[in-house]
Structure 1
Amino acid sequence: MKIKKVESQQELEQAYNVRMVVFVDEQQVSPEEEMDEHDAHSIHFVGYEGTEPIAASRLRFVDTYGKLERICILKEHRGKSFGRQMIETMEKEIVAQGYKKAKLNGQIQAENFYKKLGYQTVSDEFMDAGIPHVTMVKEL
């Protein structure tokens, strides 16, 4: 997978389309919750297999950390380490921007995936968009 930091309106729309398929269509999150006020001020990433957009994420900077958000891979492309590649790309951007900590709110179903990448759970379980999550952090 080739991951690109979004630089054009077309790439942004491709990232949004992947998010809509995964979060709205597949996980039944409302479009209003998925697309929020933070999108306009975030760094977005889109992952391609060939020319097909198959992955997306966004990165925000809050306080002293980079916050990884909206990480998603189209269902038919999961299990190929694309999620790990996306996280590593986002972590490199966090460091390049001068930050040393990463934070995310991960779905419970993905908690072990994030733990394998060095993230530690720092919260109790909570609900976000009707899905159980935990907050996780990592020193970069």
Structure 2
Amino acid sequence: MAYKVQQVLWQEACDQLKTLRKAVYVLEWQLPETTEFDDLDSKAAHVLLFSDQDTPIATGRLTPSGELGRIAVLPGHRTLAVYKLLFAALLKHAELQNIKQIQLQSELASVKFHQAKGFKPVGKVFMEAGIPMQKMVCNRQNFDIPDVRHIH
């Protein structure tokens, strides 16, 4: 399947971004909608992936501080190819912005997985939407696909 990758601004594509993220986080994961959208949305770089029918199927964001998150891929499209395209686009933006370290928020269950991929825990465990999370960081050049089932 051929995909189209597009970097978008929140102000121009918020309807599409919200639809994807609501489908994954609010409806599927049952997270409160109030925790899904924040002030960083208007400042972050967003990527949309479109199917060959030009339907939005995935999104992710990169904040100005280098935090990857809000990775939302619709069921039926959760393949390694989709995740690789999504992360490649976000990492390309990080490179263009000279962001040297990539951060993510990992569920505690995935910390060891991320450590094996070169991520290091930073700070204390915190709660987000009732889920214990750990901030993790790695150098952009060493980035490898994280455990996408457990980041937000």
Structure 2 gaps of 5+ residues are 141-152
Segments of structure 1 that go 5 or more residues without pairing to the other structure are: none
SS of equivalent to 1:38: helix
- Does residue 24 of the first structure (1) align with residue 23 of the second (2)? no
CA deviation after TM superposition for structure 1 residue 132, in Å: 3.4
Structure 1's 115 and 83: CA in aligned 2 closer, same or farther, altered over 3 A? Answer: farther
Change (3 A) 1:103 1:39: same
Match of 2:74?
A: 74
Report the RMSD for the aligned CA atoms in angstroms: 2.5
Alignment of 1:58-137 (within 5 A): 58-62=61-65, 66-108=66-108, 118-123=117-122, 125-137=125-137
Q: Across the two proteins, how many residue pairs are aligned to each other?
A: 136
How high is the TM-score relative to the length of structure 1? 0.81
Label 1:73 to 1:114 Cα distance change in 2 as closer, same or farther (>3 A): farther
Given that 2:9 and 2:45 are in contact with CA atoms closer than 8 Å, whether structure 1 keeps it comes out as: no
1:53 match: 56
**Normalized per residue, which structure has more strand?**
1
Report percent identity of matched pairs: 28
Cα distance in 2 for residues equivalent to 1:90 and 1:109: 24
Report the CA distance between 1:79 and its aligned residue: 2.9
